Amino acid sequence: MRRFVPYLCLALWSTWLFALQGWWAAGRAPGGLVPDLGVVLLLGIAARTDGARARRVALVIALSRAALSADNPAALVLAYLAVALIAAPIAATLDLDRPWLRALLAALGGGAIALWLPFAADLRAPLPAGVEPSGGSLGWPVALATAVVALALSKALRALPGLGPLWREEGSWELAARGR
Amino acid sequence: MRVRPLVLLALLCLGLLALRPDARLEGALERVLGPSRYLAQVTWPIARLGRVELRASEATVVASATGSRAASAALLERWYAAALPRAPDLVEGRRLVPGEVLGRSAGGRDQLLVRPWSLEGLSVGLPAVVREAYIGRIAEVDTVRGIVRVDLVTGRESHVGARVLALDGAELARLVVGGVATGGRPARGEPVTWLAAHHPSRTDVDDAWFGARVVVDELLPELDPFGKLAAGYGLGAFARGASDGDWRVEPIVDFLHGLSSLVLLAPGTTRAPALPDAPPHPLEEPLWVAARGFTAGDPSPWRASVKLDRGLDSGLRVGAAVVRGARLVGRLGAVSASGSTVRLLADPGLELSALAELEGRPAEPPRLLGRLVALGSDPQSGRPRFLWRDVLAIEHTQAATDSASVRARLTTAAGDLGLPAGLYLGVAMLPLGSSGGAGHVIELEDAEDALRGAERLFVRQVDPRLAGLEGPP
């Protein structure tokens, strides 16, 4: 049972973060500058954990977002799982806690998700001929906002109460070796 | 790092599910997501945060709703009246029964579900018309549900005898009209359609024929016992297809998106006293459930949605109208047992049918705009934008030939199950003249944030009599 508590905490925190993101996105964000807080949280945890756990974290984050969004849940799960799958091998060889690397990956992840979701929605229910999906232009603003938030808040987000067991209990020898 | 084949398989399945919707799998996914929806409800304080900026009292909402409801009731009354045929020879000897189109049948696009104002005297085979245009005939009278099914003349099995008339009224030829002839089908979007013409009495077609009027005239009463009632009603204009001998009829109604109300013709002697009472305004029907929105917005910046705390358990279904006062704020997208997602008017891809009342043209009946498709909100103004596919364009008036657009008050039109006619949408400037098939982009001027100050929203339940009738999208 103790194994599930951190995931429950993760679900709770990511739901609140996405609710905040939704509040900001609902007509308040200038120029579509809406950070993907899920990507920021995922990369913060993936920097200090193994691939399998990063995938489980991605799944929880995606389901939390699906609970608040009109986007297709399968498209969301696929998007966050893909970010986790790409981040895990990078985290195994490079230190994802380096600010600029983290910001770069967050920008790529956030921007790709912002492009993928409108694309998937358009394929599921095509808009009339000649109409571009309206989210097509949001890749850059979301990438930029996500990078900035990742620079500032990534470590703070993973340090939210209850999330420690998801990344602190990793094999200390491995982390120590990486640190050397 | 080695990724297990199982993970890759899962990704592949997710990709397929994300791009190719499957109703059963998605229903199952919604059930799996049920607990997370409960978890999401704990974020309601953030939704409150989003609404304290401009809180309107319920009294204000109710007051504005009353005004809007009265205006839309008047509009609906004029709209139903506009669907009635006017020409004396098309009315004589017929009893007119107006009806509201509820949607398409599960049998396909070529069958309408219609709620007539009265079922008295209606039987299978009676013709259905819109103003002076013939659209099909009754296929079934369902006295339990209080509806009739109308087979459109666009159906593969449908046919009706017709005459091609010259400008002076002389008969040029006889033919049979039924089914659809499609033009160049675009890679995306909807095909241009005509009515197919078969078995012409003459093949020596003159160029002067093209554009000639085609009207119903069934010669064989054994094929259509009520053919006399439909005689003289128009089908469209005679047109040539891609090759010689490929004849078509260019319809005068938009069969795909332009059917909102119609008139059923029954045998009778008089017209005026036979008109039954109009149905109540949709807002007066006991089908509305109060619901609370517990999110302030969608985490995806390109979407516009809100989560509600009511779902299937409260009788809600996908496509149901969501109103605040008398104003439509959106339609339900996904619905789970205990919650649902409202796709707001600015959510890209949201579809609805609309009626327009043009300012400065009081003598004109309301216009059926047909299908509007949401394109998201304008980046500068934040107003919802729609693509209006102007199958029937609004023409210039003699008084104002130089103006490019006309101001109009929009309300919903019937034709979609779950979305009744007469719900206020907003005010928009409608471009005049044809777009040439590309469609016009219009913007709702007074719908910047219909949710601000909203404590409660109201969602339309499925009419118990119509449960299970959901047709194709």
Residue type (1 letter), A14: S
Q: Token match 């109703």: residue?
A: B23
Asked if A15 lies within 8 A of B33 by C-beta distance, the reply is no
Please state, in angstroms and as integers, the Cα–Cα distance from residue A133 to each residue in A91, B302, B451, B453, following that order.
34, 9, 24, 30
B340 in contact with A at a CB cutoff of 8 Å? no
Candidates B26, B302, B440, partner chain A, best to mutate (most A CBs within 10 A): B302
**Residue B257: how many CA atoms within 13 Å on its side-chain side?**
22
How far apart are alpha carbons B308 and B269 in whole angstroms?
52
How far apart are alpha carbons B264 and B365 in whole angstroms?
20
Asked if B43 lies within 8 A of A16 by C-beta distance, the reply is yes
In this complex, which of B14, B33, B187 lies closest to A63 when CB atoms are compared? B33
DSSP B413: -
B19 in contact with A at a CB cutoff of 8 Å? yes
How far apart are alpha carbons A82 and A105 in whole angstroms?
12
Helix H or strand E encompassing A152? helix A139-158
Radius of gyration of chain A (CA): 16
Which residue on chain B is closest to A85 by alpha carbon?
A: B3
How far apart are alpha carbons B119 and B104 in whole angstroms?
19
pLDDT in tens, A60-90: 999 999 999 999 899 999 999 999 999 988 8
Chain B (25-44) residues lying within 8 Å, Cβ to Cβ, of chain A: 26, 29-30, 33, 36-37, 39-40, 42-43
ipTM above 0.95, yes or no: no
Which residue on chain B is closest to A115 by alpha carbon?
A: B302
Asked if A23 lies within 8 A of B39 by C-beta distance, the reply is no
Q: Chain A residues with CB inside 8 Å of B389's CB?
A: 128
Q: Chain A residues with CB inside 8 Å of B42's CB?
A: 12, 15-16
The answer to whether A130 touches A81, Cβ cutoff 8 Å, is no
Could you tell me the two tokens for B234?
A: 């128009």
Q: Chain B residues with CB inside 8 Å of A31's CB?
A: 379
B12 in contact with A at a CB cutoff of 8 Å? no
In this complex, which of A12, A70, A92 lies closest to B305 when CB atoms are compared? A70
Q: How many CB pairs under 8 A join A and B?
A: 189
Q: Residue-wise pLDDT tens for chain B (473 aa)?
A: 566 788 888 888 888 888 887 778 877 877 777 777 777 888 878 877 755 444 444 555 555 666 666 777 777 778 778 888 888 888 888 888 888 888 888 767 889 999 898 888 899 999 999 989 999 999 999 998 889 999 999 998 888 999 999 888 888 888 999 998 876 555 545 566 789 888 888 877 777 778 889 999 988 877 788 888 999 999 999 887 777 677 889 888 888 888 888 999 998 865 544 556 667 778 888 889 999 888 888 999 889 999 998 888 888 888 899 998 888 999 998 888 888 899 999 898 898 989 898 888 877 888 888 889 898 888 778 889 999 887 777 876 666 556 788 899 999 988 888 888 888 898 999 998 877 777 888 999 877 566 665 668 899 988 777 777 765 44
